[in-house]
Structure 1
């Protein structure tokens, strides 16, 4: 007995192929000269889409050539011709403007463009790109604290990405390497000095947390990698090991941190695609502090011997 709908007429498929071939035979590809969009004649059109393309291509080319002011001007002109529903190009242009302003030393303008992007972030990819953009802006201007804030949000959004944890750990090391005497020279009270020392202890422990987490993740990923990807992970793992040697935690502290930071490293959970939609509202410093800093600090505080960074 044949199931209803389980057989098809071969002529249906042959007719479809004939129609497809007929439509392809009438297609003529558009040929463009190299950098055609740089010519003044490229703007001799009333089509908003064509003008958008011209300014976008001009901006991308100028940025690649290192002419950031020209690129910023082109991106600004492009923004005027982008349709309201074309959010992809709009986000791309706004990011380009933010990066141009960064290279030109215009911090506030760069952050304003990033703020416009934040209002349109609706998924994990959007927020990841936004946070990485902010990291690059703050890094360019030497703003350590805001940069750490963005890295913490990245670790909260993508907890199984070792590169964000590595960057966060390196930022903690940067804070530890800064000269504490300069900050404490103006402090008159002993309790203020004690508070500064306790803050340094917390930074030290947080650096240990980040590098332990990085090492765990890199070791897991190494089993699935090869070629240049594996080489990159090996180099990062070496950097991580050297950082832990500098921090020089006690063995008991290291074991406690490793145990706590590996609790969620379950293959099934790591493959789960759960970070999207409503979960974006939870990506904030408070959630990161509750999930990582406080829980790990409580588990390891009794076994921590304080900062012992090697020079």
Structure 2
């Protein structure tokens, strides 16, 4: 069973003779020097596509090097040369600009760019990329509530991706540690999100258990370094759950609730990669999981044992 759409066309691995004659008699590949696009002479052209490539490559390089203003300027120049129908490159450039603005502390412009991307999102791939961008920006800006909401939306949109759940759990654990050491223990953020210790603790436990369930399913499909990496993460999950001091009954109850939808046939049906947003029906995080968990009465039964500091995630 493939959950994340990582299957391949068998014809890729067939013998050349089976795929027909596709040989090219002669081909001279274009050779470019490293960072050729940084040379000023490459802009001495009337080709708009070539200029678009040059500015995009310059922006990508500057962003990778941490030169955010230079990257922003390059991306802005790139926008001028993108054809109206080239929406994929335009989205890529707008995302890069939003990241640069966030790094430069220009929250207003960063969120304006996010709004543009939101309005133009038309399928689940666009929405996934947008939510990942939001998580990154909100983390840099220290916006706790919006960041958590975006992670929860990611878990609802891509429910079988363990890393979104893992990141949600880590965020809750970090907030718990901050709350434990802070003199002012915040109960709500500006968005009305409940940040009480008990709710953060329960959400951390839930997220780590869901991550563990998904990674164990993935282990059946993996080998080599991916399998080894997941083993290490599974160990860190066990350490985190010990740190959260949840009792066995709580762990068992949460495992039962969070594994209800982990049925092979249902997982295939729910896989919506690339589907139009007009045809996708998504349940919110609360509807799908959180409300069920609260109804179990775990918080009252467990008493929230606290967070140990003798293990690290």
TM-score higher than 0.5: yes
User: Who wins on radius of gyration, i.e. which is larger?
Assistant: 1
Q: How many residues align?
A: 280
Normalising by structure 2, report the TM-score.
0.80
Give matches, 1:1-311, under 5 Å. 24=24, 29-179=29-179, 182-183=183-184, 199-272=196-269, 274-275=271-272, 276-278=275-277, 282-283=281-282, 287-301=284-298, 304-311=301-308
Which structure 1 residue ranges, 5 or more long, are not aligned? 1-15, 186-195
What's the Cα RMSD here? 2.7
Cα deviation 1:153-197 (Å, max 9, x = unaligned): 010011111111111111111222123663359xxxxxxxxxx99
Contact 1:166 1:211 survives alignment (8 Å)? yes
| Paired residues of 1:253 and 1:300 also in contact (CA < 8 A) | no
Contact persistence 2:177–2:307 (CA under 8 A): no
Supply the distance in 2 between the matched residues of 1:236 and 1:72 (Cα, whole angstroms): 36
Tell me the secondary structure at the aligned position of residue 183 of structure 1: coil
Unaligned runs of 5+ in 2: 1-19, 187-192, 309-313
Distance 1:250 1:216 in 2: 18
In structure 2, the CA distance between the partners of 1:115 and 1:258, relative to structure 1 (3 Å rule), is: same
Q: What CA distance in whole angstroms lies between the structure 2 residues aligned with 1:179 and 1:29?
A: 58
Distance 1:66 1:152 in 2: 29
Contact persistence 2:198–2:299 (CA under 8 A): no
Aligned residues of 2:179 and 2:197 also touching (Cα < 8 A): no
Instruction: Provide, for residues 46-71 of structure 1, a one-character-per-residue CA deviation record: whole Å limited to 9, x for no partner.
Output: 22222212211221222233322111
**Match of 2:3?**
none
Q: Do the aligned partners of residues 66 and 240 (structure 1) sit closer, same or farther apart at CA in structure 2, a change above 3 Å counting?
A: same
Between the two structures, name the one with larger relative contact order (CA 8 Å, sep ≥ 6): 2
Q: Closer, same or farther in 2 for the Cα pair 1:165/1:98, shift >3 Å?
A: same
Where 1:111 maps in the other structure, the secondary structure is helix
> Aligned partners of 2:278, 2:294: CA distance in 1, in Å?
25
Deviations 1:122-180 (A, max 9, x none): 22221111111111111122222211111100100111111111111111112221236
Q: Is the 8 A contact 1:82 1:90 kept in 2?
A: yes
Q: Equivalents in 2 of 1:67, 1:121: separation in Å?
A: 28
The structure 1 segments of at least 4 consecutive aligned residues displaced by more than 6 Å after TM superposition are: none
1:81 alignment partner, SS class:
coil
Q: Shift of the alpha carbon at 1:87?
A: 0.7
- 2:194 & 2:113 partners in 1: Cα distance? 38
> For the Cα contact (< 8 Å) 1:52–1:81, is it kept in 2?
yes
